[in-house]
Structures are given as C-alpha cells and as structure tokens.
Chain A
C-alpha cells in the first residue's frame, strides 16, 4: 500500500548568522492512511520541524516529501491545492493558534467558504454546527459567537482541531497538541482524537516529549524516537515501549516517573555518561548519542553513523551498531589510561 505521506532522506538546515544548523539529518518516515505515528524526543531534537515538513508548511533542504507516492513539489494546480489541504496541523499553543480578532464561527467559516466544502449559507452554518459537535463543543450555539479569548485552553484546542477538520484532511499533525492543556482535559482530548481518526479516516502524527502520553495515545500505532535530528528507533508502540532497543529509548523509559513512590524508589535508573545534550552545531561523529551512551563501544560507535535497520532479537528498527551487528550491549567501563591525562 502506498503510504499517505513519506519522507525520504530529508535534511533540513537552518542558518543562524553564517553557521548552518542541521536540525534534521536523513529522516526516513512513512505514514500509512489512518495510522497513528508518534514522534517522541527531547526538546530541540527536530520533532516539530519534522511535523512541519509533513504538514507541508516547511520545505526540506534536501530529500523528498511524498504525498501519495508523488513528491509534493510535483503537484500542480488543483492537485497541489488538494494535497496542501489534505495535510493539516494543530499547534501546541491554543492561545496563539486562533486569531483573536475573529469569532469561532468566523474562524470555521473561512475555510468552508473558500474551498466550497459545502454549498450555501445554511449549509455552512450546518457544517459549523456539525464540526463543533464533532469536537465535543456542545451546545454549539454557546460557542459560535464567542471570541477565542473567551474560551478555555481545552476549548480552544478543540476549535483548532475543528478548524483543521473543515477541509477534510487525510493527515493531522498534532504538534504537542495537548501539552499546554490542563492535565484533567488531556485524556478527553486524546480520546476525541482517537474517535476522529476512526470516524473520519485520518492519519495522525502525534508529536510529544511525553513518552507516557505517546504510549497511551499510540498504543495501536507506531512510535518513532528522535534524537538530535535523527530517528534512532521506530516500531510498533507495544514493542518500543515494552522492549526498548536503543540505549536512548531505554534511558527515556527508565526516566518516566511512576505514580507509585515505592516503584519509583526501587526503579532501575539508567546512568548516562553525560547529562548534557550536545549542541546541534557540534554534532558528535558516528552515533550522535555516543558521548552519553552507557554502552559506548570505542572505535565502533564514534566512527560510523548507524543505519536504521532491524536488530536481531527485536521487532523494531533501531540505529545502533552494537545491536544491529549482533554484538549486544555491554556496560562501558572507563579504561584507566584513557582517563588518566592529569599529572
């Protein structure tokens, strides 16, 4: 089956003054229709940039972004407009993503009218009613004439989802869509996204820094773990969470706080060799995680960039040479003469 959206060898650099910053390096991702794909990683790892490229809001510096098997730039005319509309994004900050100057009704009516999604004034209003009901904003009459600042964060996030739905998209990129919403509202938002995916047959790319959220939301889907602009591990959520392969994923999972203090106290924490994330301008050679990796193999990890491939014993793909070559992971112990450079 042709993936709905595919990134092939996508690189993206931003320029800060004269120095280019490679935010994404060699990203290969495919999203099938109606799939849930979760992008997780620390802040600054390129999740949002990946999401924006997938939503067609940002161009790749090199590599290709394919929509239904064809490069997005190859589309022309009406097909391009259709492709453009099929990819929608829901932003992180519900306070910034709605124009404060318009009422909710206006915000939803603009795309409906512009693209003739429905015919006639009455149909537009009926559709707005349906959309507001779809995102659980009921009764719609209480919402439609309000300005965004009169709504709560959760309500606004629902409005931005409804706005994305006006153009009947095939893919919604939810960029940290629930992280700025009150915890008590999150679950209902996530459930709603699940329901929309089932009812409207959309694929969802869910970007988050919260692995617990990713686990909950993408349990039937896949998770891609990103680190410093690369995908280091990708596979079915149950496998990645239940049986993590890449040392970075293991560290992330070990760091999830448990609600049970007993459990947290006894939990095996992974000791990283360094707490600092390397700067994007000075990405370490070889595997970019090697300066922090507790399973570092000198001469292997710091020389070659690990390819993302299946590792023996795991069902997911992972970018870690000791794993994929079958060497296995051994705790790295500092050798005396390597550290002793003092007097």
Chain B
C-alpha cells in the first residue's frame, strides 16, 4: 500500500536524522536551541515513520518554526514605527524567504497551540497517534503469528481459545494464534481502505457540490436529482448485494464503491455552503475588484469551507470503516487476514460467542475499532479550531 514501503526502516531513520540536521543547525546558529532540538526530533521521527515522504516536508515545517522563534517582527520594515520616507521596502530574497518562513512557522505554532488547547480534540489526536504508532512501528517489535499452534492447547480445554496471559496479553484465537499480533497487523488494510474511501468521497462531493452551486440551472438539478436518488437507496443492503456480485480483489475498488455511494450527503452540504458563501459581501467585493474566478474559489470560498470539509471527511472515513467492518462481519468481503473485521467474522464463525475463553479474542478488535472511531470523532474538535482563523489566532 501507499506509504508503507519506507515505514519503520533503518534507512527511513537515517533519512529523518539527516533531515533533522537542518532545523538543528539553524537552531544552533540563531541561538534557539530548544526549538532546534525539537525540530530534529520531529524530523527524525517523521522520517523514520514515512521515509522521504515524511522527512522532507518536516524539514520545511521544523525550520520554519525555528526561524519564527528567532525572527522578530521588528526586523520587518513594514512593522517599524518609522515614517514612509524612512522605510525601505526593498528586501533581498533571503529576507523575503525569512519573513515568509517565519510566517509559516507562526501558523504551525498557532495550529499546535490550537491542537493542544482543546482537550477533547487533543485526546483524539493522541488516540490516532497511538494507532499510527501501533500500525507503523508495532510490526518491528511483534512478529506476525500466522499459523495454527496446536501445541498451545491447554490440558482439558475443548478449544485452542485462551484468555489473556502473561505470554499472550490479549489471549489466543481459535487456532491458538496470538491475538495481539493480529491486532497490531490487522489495522493497516482497514484504516487505509477507510481513509481512501473518505478522501475519495470528499473529493467527489466537493467537486460536484461546488459545480452544482456555481453553475446552477440544469447541472444543479441533475446533480441534486442524482444525489436524491442515491440517498433514497438503503446503502447497506445495496453494498451487500454489490459486494456479493463483484469480486473485490483490491481495497481501492472497495474504497471507490464506498465513495460512489457515500458522496450525496456531503455533496448537498457543500452545495449549500457554496451557495451561502458566494453571496457574501467579500465575494461580491472580489467580483467588483475583478479578481477572477480561480482566485474567488481558491482564496475566498475554499478557505472558509476547509474546516467544514475536513471535518466531514473525517466523518466519511468513520462511515466507511463501519460499512467495511459490517460487510466483513457478514463475510461478504474476501479480505485476507490479518484484519480486525476478519477477526470478528472468524470469531463468530468459530463459536467465540459461546466460549468465555474467547472473550478477549472477540472484544479486542471491537475495542480497537471503537477506540479508533472515537479518536477520529474527538479529533474533529481540534481540526475545527486549527482551521478557523478566528479561534486559531488567539495565541
């Protein structure tokens, strides 16, 4: 899957450390050692987790934060108290880059403050971080237990199921395999598929919704009719039927299917938002100033919708995950082990419902899914604050 090739490898760690040298050196040079060291740690961690993909963007962010600590507004000619004749607005490109980086750094810092300030949101963030660490770094410490272990059968027991023990903290499943290893390995496909489904749903909804609102007329009517049509169909039974007819060999097909059924609700919300935003005075002013449609969409309308869109994307991810687990529970999706959904399905198949020794095997994936979902929903609270300039700039 995308993003998982370079995860938790030694080369990733090296990349991260090399990237981290940039903010560290900048920090030492500007006598802001603490942010510099934090930047180094952030880069190392990010590189270790995601390789180049994580390390390189982190250089930019971390360096910006370091510079924003060192750069004082008074260095900007604009904010000096001099009169206009005394101020030179000419600046070298280095000064310009410094000013811009400091601005970016301030935004990053303000976002971090916003993230931490909302307790519920921060809790959600910690939960997501936990699942991220578990799925990314967990496999480095815990080996996947894939084959049956008949020798683990307890004397006198009628199945291989076992409750938690010191050796196996989450117990054993019906084949005597370690449940913990399945929890650690089983989140990847499920989380990735749901995230993909959520992102695709959001992209479709935002594109179609803004098209319907901006073009109006026939386009609007057709799109609204289509969304109404899909909304009236009971989603889950349709998913069931489709899943039994079509063979989903790749998670991306499943994600596309969820997106194809999931876009209408969000599309209507986006349409309503765009309709309301385009009547705002500042959009009218942009029209009067002849700033052009691309500017109006990307700079005037979108920034005021982004928190709404991101929060709804989270909800789409949540909905996709529930549908996916539901399909798996019914055995309609031929996904391979290890997978949290498959654990519930197999547990039910193998009589875990009637076996007290199997309680931990059945509850572990349920708890994992529920906690992940809870973290997602809580995290939206922080996202709202991060993307709302009114709440963010209170720093």
Interface check B96, CB cutoff 8 A: yes
0/1 interface trace, chain B 286-329, chain A, CB 8 Å (1 if under)? 11111110010001100110000000000000000000000000
- A interface, how many residues as a size bin? 35 or more
0/1 interface trace, chain B 72-99, chain A, CB 8 Å (1 if under)? 0100111111001001111100001000
- Minimum C-beta distance from A126 to chain B (A): 5
Which residues from 183 to 217 on chain A have a C-beta closer than 8 Å to any C-beta of chain B?
A: none
Q: B280 near A166 (CB under 8 angstroms)?
A: no
0/1 interface trace, chain B 260-283, chain A, CB 8 Å (1 if under)? 000000000000000000001110
Q: A115 near B290 (CB under 8 angstroms)?
A: yes
Q: A84 near B390 (CB under 8 angstroms)?
A: no
Q: In the docked arrangement, what's the CA distance between A126 and B89, Å? A: 6
Q: Look across to chain A and name the residue whose beta carbon is closest to the beta carbon of B300.
A: A99
Q: Is the interface of B mostly helix, strand, loop or mixed?
A: helix
Interface check A97, CB cutoff 8 A: yes
Interface check A91, CB cutoff 8 A: yes
What residues of chain B lie closer than 8 Å to A140, measured between beta carbons?
78
Interface check B154, CB cutoff 8 A: no
Q: Which of A32-40, A63-71, A144-152 contacts its partner?
A: A144-152
Which residues from 113 to 128 on chain A have a C-beta closer than 8 Å to any C-beta of chain B?
A: 114-115, 121-123, 125-126, 128
**Contact A110/B84 with A88-B289, A147-B390 known, Cβ cut-off 8 Å:** no
- Minimum C-beta distance from A343 to chain B (A): 53
What residues of chain A lie closer than 8 Å to B84, measured between beta carbons?
126, 129-130, 133
Q: A149 near B287 (CB under 8 angstroms)?
A: no
- B interface, how many residues as a size bin? 20 to 34
Q: A141 near B390 (CB under 8 angstroms)?
A: no
Interface check A24, CB cutoff 8 A: no
What residues of chain B lie closer than 8 Å to A96, measured between beta carbons?
280-282
The listed residue with most B CB atoms (<10 A of its CB), out of A81, A115, A141, is A141
Q: Look across to chain B and name the residue whose beta carbon is closest to the beta carbon of A130.
A: B84
Interface check B284, CB cutoff 8 A: yes
Interface check A79, CB cutoff 8 A: no
Q: In the docked arrangement, what's the CA distance between A133 and B300, Å? A: 25
- Minimum C-beta distance from B378 to chain A (A): 25
**Contact A99/B303 with A114-B292, A147-B393 known, Cβ cut-off 8 Å:** yes
Interface check B166, CB cutoff 8 A: no
Q: In the docked arrangement, what's the CA distance between A87 and B389, Å? A: 31
Interface check B241, CB cutoff 8 A: no
Interface check B157, CB cutoff 8 A: no
Q: Look across to chain B and name the residue whose beta carbon is closest to the beta carbon of A97.
A: B281
- Minimum C-beta distance from B310 to chain A (A): 14
What residues of chain A lie closer than 8 Å to B393, measured between beta carbons?
147, 149-150
A166: contacting residue among B88, B289, B295, B299, CB under 8 A: B289
Supplied contacts A56-B288, A123-B89, A141-B81, 13 more A-B pairs, CB within 8 Å: A55-B288, A87-B288, A91-B281, A99-B299, A99-B300, A102-B303, A111-B291, A114-B291, A122-B88, A141-B78, A141-B80, A145-B79, A164-B289
Sorted from nearest, which 9 A-B pairs have the closest CB atoms? A141-B79, A101-B303, A122-B89, A97-B281, A91-B281, A99-B282, A96-B281, A111-B289, A126-B89
By a beta-carbon cutoff of 8 Å, the part of chain A in contact with chain B is: 55-57, 81, 84-85, 87-89, 91, 93, 96-102, 105, 110-111, 114-115, 121-123, 125-126, 128-130, 133, 139-142, 144-145, 147, 149-150, 160, 163-164, 166-167
Some 25 contacts from A to B, beta carbons below 8 A apart, are A57-B287, A84-B288, A97-B281, A98-B282, A102-B303, A105-B78, A110-B286, A111-B290, A114-B290, A114-B291, A114-B292, A121-B89, A122-B88, A122-B89, A128-B78, A129-B78, A133-B84, A139-B81, A141-B78, A141-B81, A147-B389, A149-B389, A149-B390, A149-B393, A167-B289
